[in-house]
């Protein structure tokens, strides 16, 4: 089975490849273009960006070139982008989406997410704000411009608020998730509501890669620590979005479907000491 066949099926039947390529912090245009092209040539069929990453244009060109060099079509790739905090609100979101789509130039977007639940400008009114934003996303979804809609960094109370007043349920929640930070409560809530979970910073921004305990497990399976982290994530049915600008890492991060972690090792990793948390608290408003 090819890696690209490993998918998570979203609430509305859309298939989302379980291993994606993250592009946060790849701001340099050439680097963004090259990394995305390289990722697609390696076999990744899921690319994640956001208007906040300021790379949608280069990511879009990288996608085009990657598809061309692999002889693939637009439908063969799953593209995610996100509405930024300062773009929230009904009209703002409609406009932000058009800006993102124009930059990406992908014709449509597979998945559009609300990037953070609480924004600086509307810290006390986040409940109303996310619902206004969501209405715009529902409209774009109905029009077929977006195949699936979801959220990012939503904790249980944020999800409950949105679920209490929406027409289309969120299909995805993209959260910080890696060994040492497994957000049990949010993941359990998502499972209960059939919301697919995606892991951002699946390697803990590189911080967990020096962990001795993970290094021991990696040696046992003859794999890298990064591969162990990613395997631990996808083996739970959670999508992983590793980012790298280095060809060898882009490639090795892709090879995680030729081994399986034992149940015991899965548990050990799940129960390891908290480590690598970025400190980004979704309850705090940010720009
Ligand atoms: P680089 O772009 O230089 O490869 P995360 O996806 O958790 O945010 O982690 C991304 C960080 O981890 C980046 O700094 C990236 O750096 C690094 N990284 C990605 N893949 C690997 C790997 N296989 N081995 C070591 N570092 C990696």
Name the residue ranges covered by the structural domains of the chain: 3-271
**How many whole angstroms from 99 Cα to the centroid of ligand 1?**
29
| Residue 1: per-residue pLDDT | 44
Report the residue count for the chain: 287
Q: Write the pLDDT tens digit of every residue in 114-127.
A: 999 999 888 999 99
Whether ligand 1 lies within 6 angstroms of the CB of 203 is answered as: yes
Q: Write the pLDDT tens digit of every residue in 48-92.
A: 999 999 999 999 999 999 999 999 999 999 999 999 999 999 999
The tokens describing 192, both together, are 């209960």
- Binning pLDDT at 50, 70 and 90, where does residue 3 land? low
**How many whole angstroms from 286 Cα to the centroid of ligand 1?**
25
**How many whole angstroms from 51 Cα to the centroid of ligand 1?**
21
**Fold adopted by 3-271:** TIM Barrel (3.20.20)
Neighbour tally for 146: CB within 10 Å: 23
Q: Which of 25, 38, 201, 203 to mutate to test the pocket of ligand 1 (most atoms within 8 A of CB)?
A: 203
Whether ligand 1 lies within 6 angstroms of the CB of 64 is answered as: no
DSSP notation for the chain:
--GGG-EEE-TTS-EEESB-EE-TT--SHHHHHHHHHHHHHHT--EEE--GGGT-HHHHHHHHHHHHHHHT--GGG-EEEEEE-GGG-SHHHHHHHHHHHHHHHT-SSEEEEEES-S-BGGGGGGHHHHHHHHHHHHHHHHHTTSEEEEEEES--HHHHHHHHTT-SS---EEEEE-BTTB--HHHHHHHHHTTPEEEEESTTGGGGGGG-HHHHHHHHHHT--HHHHHHHHHHTTT-EE----SSHHHHHHTT--SS----HHHHHHHHTSPP-------TTS-B-
Q: Measuring from atom 19 of ligand 1, which residue has the nearest CA? A: 244
Which parts are annotated binding residues for substrate? 115
Q: Measuring from atom 26 of ligand 1, which residue has the nearest CA? A: 206
Whether ligand 1 lies within 6 angstroms of the CB of 242 is answered as: yes
Q: Measuring from atom 22 of ligand 1, which residue has the nearest CA? A: 249
Whether ligand 1 lies within 6 angstroms of the CB of 204 is answered as: yes
**Which among 137, 126, 67 is positioned nearest to 100, based on CA atoms?**
137
Per the residue annotation, which of 53, 90, 221, 287 is the catalytic one? 53
- Binning pLDDT at 50, 70 and 90, where does residue 4 land? low
Strands 7-9 and 15-17: antiparallel
Q: Write the pLDDT tens digit of every residue in 141-179.
A: 999 999 999 999 999 999 999 999 999 999 999 999 999
What ligand 1 atom has the least distance to the C-alpha of 250? Answer: 20
Residue 53 a catalytic site member: yes
- Binning pLDDT at 50, 70 and 90, where does residue 286 land? confident
Whether ligand 1 lies within 6 angstroms of the CB of 246 is answered as: yes
pTM for the model: 0.97
Rounded mean pLDDT of 215-231? 98
Q: Which of 246, 256, 275, 280 to mutate to test the pocket of ligand 1 (most atoms within 8 A of CB)?
A: 246
Whether ligand 1 lies within 6 angstroms of the CB of 244 is answered as: yes
Q: What is the mean pLDDT of the chain?
A: 96
Place of tokens 């619902």: 131
Neighbour tally for 55: CB within 10 Å: 25
Q: Measuring from atom 10 of ligand 1, which residue has the nearest CA? A: 205
């Amino acid at each position: 089975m090819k890696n690209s066949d490993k998918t998570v099926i979203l609430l509305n039947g859309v298939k989302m490849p379980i291993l994606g390529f993250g592009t946060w912090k790849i701001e340099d245009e050439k680097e963004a273009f090259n990394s995305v092209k390289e990722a697609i040539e390696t076999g990744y069929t899921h690319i994640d960006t956001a208007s906040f990453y300021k790379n949608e244009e280069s990511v879009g060109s990288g996608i085009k070139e990657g598809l061309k060099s692999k002889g693939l079509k637009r439908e063969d790739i799953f593209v995610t982008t996100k509405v930024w905090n300062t773009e929230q609100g009904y009209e703002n979101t409609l406009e932000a989406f058009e800006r993102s789509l124009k930059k990406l130039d992908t014709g449509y977007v597979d998945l559009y997410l609300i990037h953070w639940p609480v924004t600086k400008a509307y810290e006390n009114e986040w409940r109303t704000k996310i619902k206004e934003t969501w209405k715009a996303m529902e409209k774009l979804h109905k029009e077929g411009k977006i195949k699936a809609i979801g959220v990012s960094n939503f904790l249980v109370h944020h999800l409950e608020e949105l679920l209490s007043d929406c027409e289309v349920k969120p299909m995805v929640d993209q959260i910080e998730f890696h060994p040492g930070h497994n957000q049990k409560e949010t993941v359990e809530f998502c499972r209960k509501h059939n919301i697919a979970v995606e892991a951002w910073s699946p390697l803990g921004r590189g911080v967990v890669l020096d962990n001795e305990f993970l290094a021991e497990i990696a040696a046992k399976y003859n794999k890298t620590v990064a591969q162990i982290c990613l395997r631990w994530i996808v083996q739970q049915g959670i999508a992983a979005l590793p980012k790298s600008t280095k060809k060898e890492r882009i490639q090795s991060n892709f090879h995680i479907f030729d081994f399986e972690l034992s149940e015991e090792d899965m548990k050990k990793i799940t129960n390891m000491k908290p480590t690598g948390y970025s400190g980004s608290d979704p309850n705090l408003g940010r720009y």
